[in-house]
């Protein structure tokens, strides 16, 4: 999938994101085929690096990196409420029309990448970066 983790990395521009999605289409079709025919997905081999990433690295990442405190909202906010609706954990509520983040963030970046006004930043890390959100999401 196209990168959307702008707390640490860059998101692709729109044309590049479309290329990445197009390249994933065959794998998506194979997955759809498995679901339709009731077959299991092919087993994925997890190497040592994968196990480390899903184990120690992931635990440390959540412990030290994943937090909502750096999120800020600017005067560009149009109070549409999309960020509140997008948060899968209900970690973000509008207060007097502007978002306030709680302590249950999972760093999915749905709030910041889906803001139609570009009003949300993650500290200085997200400044000037393109936001990526799947074009199908709005539909
Ligand atoms: S999505 Fe953006 S513009 Fe809409 S309420 Fe949230 S911060 Fe404001
Ligand atoms: S990054 Fe995701 S989990 Fe965290 S507040 Fe935004 S939408 Fe919610």
Q: Quote the pLDDT of residue 108.
A: 97
136 has pLDDT over 90: no
Grade residue 137 by pLDDT with cuts at 50, 70 and 90. confident
Q: What distance in angstroms lies between residue 32's CA and the mean position of ligand 1's atoms?
A: 34
Given this model, what pLDDT does residue 72 score? 98
Q: Evaluate: CB of 108 within 6 angstroms of ligand 2.
A: yes
Spatial contact of 68 and 91, defined as CB atoms under 8 Å apart: yes
* Percentage of the residues of the chain whose pLDDT score is greater than 70: 100
| Residue of 111, 113, 122, 125 to test ligand 2 pocket, by largest number of atoms within 8 Å of CB | 111
Of the ligands numbered here, which is closest to the C-alpha atom of 82? 1
Most confident region among 14-18, 43-47, 77-81 by mean pLDDT: 77-81
* Mean local confidence (pLDDT), 5-24: 95
The pLDDT tens digits for 53-97 are: 999 999 999 999 999 999 999 999 999 999 999 999 999 999 999
Residue nearest atom 8 of ligand 1, based on CA coordinates: 77
Question: Model's pTM, two decimal places?
Answer: 0.90
Residue 58 CA to ligand 1 centre (angstroms):
29
Tokens linked to 133: 């959100």
Categorize the per-residue pLDDT at 112 as very low, low, confident or very high, splitting at 50, 70 and 90.
Answer: very high
pLDDT in the model for residue 2: 95
From the list 75, 104, 72, 76, the residue with the least C-alpha distance to 90 is 104
Confidence at residue 139, expressed as pLDDT on a 0 to 100 scale: 76
Using CB atoms within 10 Å of the CB of residue 76, give its burial: 0 to 12 exposed, 13 to 18 middle, 19+ buried.
exposed
Tell me which H or E stretch contains 100: strand 98-101
Instruction: Give distance in angstroms: CA of 79 to centre of ligand 1.
Output: 5
Does the Cβ of 7 fall within 6 Å of ligand 2?
A: no
Ligand 2, atom 6, lies closest to the CA of 111
């Amino acid at each position: 999938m196209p990168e959307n983790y702008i707390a640490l990395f860059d998101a692709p521009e729109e044309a590049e994101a479309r290329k990445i999605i197009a390249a994933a289409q065959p794998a998506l079709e194979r997955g759809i085929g498995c679901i339709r025919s009731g077959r299991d997905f092919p087993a994925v081999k997890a190497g040592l690096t994968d196990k480390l990433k899903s184990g120690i690295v992931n635990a440390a990442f959540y412990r030290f990196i994943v937090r909502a405190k750096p999120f800020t909202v600017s005067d560009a906010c149009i109070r549409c409420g999309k960020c509140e609706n997008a948060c899968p954990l209900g970690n973000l509520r509008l207060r007097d029309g502007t978002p306030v983040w709680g302590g249950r963030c999972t760093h999915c970046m749905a709030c910041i990448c889906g803001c139609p006004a570009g009003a949300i930043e993650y500290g200085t890390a997200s400044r000037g970066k393109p936001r990526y959100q799947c074009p199908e999401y709005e539909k």
